[in-house]
Amino acid sequence: MFKPLLKVAAIASLVLMASSPTFAADDKKVYKFKLAHTWPTKFPIFGDAIHSMADTAKKMSNGRIQIKIDSKNKHKAPLGIFDMVKAGQYDMGHSGSYYWKGKVPNTLFFTSMPFGMTAVEQYAWFYHGGGMELMDKVYAPHNLLSFPGGNTGNQMGGWFQKEIKSIDDLKGLKMRIPGFAGEVMAKVGAKPTNIPAGELYTALEKGTIDALEWVGPSLDLRMGFHKIAPYYYTGWHEPGSELQFLFNKKKWDGLPEDIKEILRVSMRNAAYDMYVHSYHESAKNWASMKKDFPKIEVKSFPSEVLQALKDANDELIAERAKSDPLAKEIIESQAEYLNKARAWTKISDQSYYETMEKLK
Ligand code: CA
């Protein structure tokens, strides 16, 4: 976190020291950007991250960076961000990389993968383990740059009307579960669907679907699912979902270095802040859910079910690696990094949690 800030400070002092008239002229130039995002107006947490990025960039640039933010209520194309930023209709976007898997399959890998890295492991991969370079490889041919845009933390497995005791209980189960996890569920016999957020509560209440996953207490509380479904399953499918800031590459390439660095730092700061904000909201909302609905039963799928899901996941991943060399490169990079990072997670965080559990 601190390295880029120091860089900005260094650049800022160079700007002060420079007597070049170019610097003086640039110093007053205002850079205006238009940003489109996938979410509704005033959407909590995600929206806060976007506005905090724009505010930070404005303050750090002493007003030279001005970002106008349009929600989906304005541009009406929540899943059109990729195309709009690519075409230059908008300079910037905020969305989720896995939404573009139908367009550019390799975008799938940069949100969260089932049985993959947690938020902190994935941040380490992005910034220090080659993740950013691979994301550039996927996005640059589309005149786009993608930056981490905020993490939801580990997502809950979802709300279920019936307990899942064996793999047979997943057969024919109608569940809202998007992305690659949906493909995994389909492979074990479930019927994944994707229903718009506004219709989810009614669909679960009326039995149109038997189960759904959304995020976790941070955003589930306001949806009210805990009032109509008794079982809250722990997660396996989105261990650390990272949103994204998109930037039109041509526009980015034409910016001066100081403006680029302020934008980079503002995005990185907003992303990390969304991660801790999500953590805070989940902790707070989980306490209030438990208080108001003490009968919520938190469950984990039996090991046999999780193993079947993991086997299905591994098969699907292997198929992708076979079909595309860049997919193979990303899959191998993530697998190798996960192995290395998890060995450390085990003797650090995991061991600490286990130790604490045994104490009074
Ligand atoms: Ca989710």
What DSSP state is assigned to residue 334?
Answer: H
Quote the ligand 1 centre to 297 CA distance (angstroms). 19
Distance (angstroms) between ligand 1 centre and the Cα of 12 equals 40
| Ligand 1: centre distance to CA 84 (Å) | 24
CA of 269 to the centre of ligand 1 (A): 23
Give the distance (Å) from ligand 1 centre to CA of residue 288.
21
Instruction: For 65, list phi and psi in degrees, rounded to 5.
Output: -105, 120
Q: Compute the distance from residue 323 Cα to the ligand 1 centre, in Å.
A: 27
Q: How far is the CA of 119 from the centre of ligand 1 (A)?
A: 14
CB 135 within 8 A of CB 126: yes
Q: What is the pLDDT of residue 196?
A: 80
Q: Residue 324 Cα, ligand 1 centroid: separation in angstroms?
A: 26
**CA 237 – ligand 1 centroid, Å:** 8
User: Which amino acid is present at 273?
Assistant: D
Looking at residue 359, the DSSP 8-state letter turns out to be: -
* Rounded Cα distance, 146 and 39, in Å: 17
pLDDT for residue 16: 52
Beta strand residue intervals within 217-350, DSSP E:
231-233, 242-248, 297-299
Ligand 1 center from residue 279 Cα (angstroms):
15
**Please, what is the Cα angle at 239 between 238 and 242, to 5 degrees?**
75
pLDDT tens, residue order, the chain (360 aa):
445 555 555 555 555 554 444 454 567 899 999 999 999 999 999 999 999 999 999 999 999 999 999 999 999 999 999 999 999 999 999 999 999 999 999 999 999 999 999 999 999 999 999 999 999 999 999 999 999 999 999 999 999 999 999 999 999 999 999 889 999 999 999 999 988 888 999 999 999 999 999 999 999 999 999 999 999 999 999 999 999 999 999 999 999 999 999 999 999 999 999 999 999 999 999 999 999 999 999 999 999 999 999 999 999 999 999 999 999 999 999 999 999 999 999 999 999 999 999 999
Question: What per-residue confidence (pLDDT) applies to 27?
Answer: 77
> 155: CA distance to ligand 1 center in Å?
6
**Token pair for residue 77?**
């194309």
- Distance from Cα 131 to the centre of ligand 1, integer Å: 22
The CA 358 to ligand 1 mean position distance, Å, reads 32
As beta bridge partners, residue 191 has: 174
Give the chain's mean pLDDT. Answer: 94
3-state DSSP call for residue 105? helix
- Asked if 9 and 2 touch (Cβ cutoff 8 Å), the reply is no
Ligand 1 center to residue 196 CA distance, Å? 12
Kindly report the number of other CB atoms within 10 A of residue 271's CB atom: 23
pLDDT, position 198 = 86
Single out the residue of 311, 240, 201, 289 nearest to residue 96, CA to CA. 240
For ligand 1, the distance from its centroid to the CA atom of residue 238, given in whole angstroms, is: 7
Pairing state of beta strands 211-212 and 158-160?
antiparallel
Domains of the chain: 29-150+241-280 (3.40.190.170), 158-237+295-323 (3.40.190.10)
- Which residues, including other chains, have CB under 8 Å from residue 124's CB and lie 6 or more apart? 337, 341
Rounded Cα–Cα distance for residues 53 and 36 (Å): 13
Cα of 214 vs centre of ligand 1, distance in Å, is: 4
pLDDT in tens, 189-212: 999 998 888 899 999 999 999 999
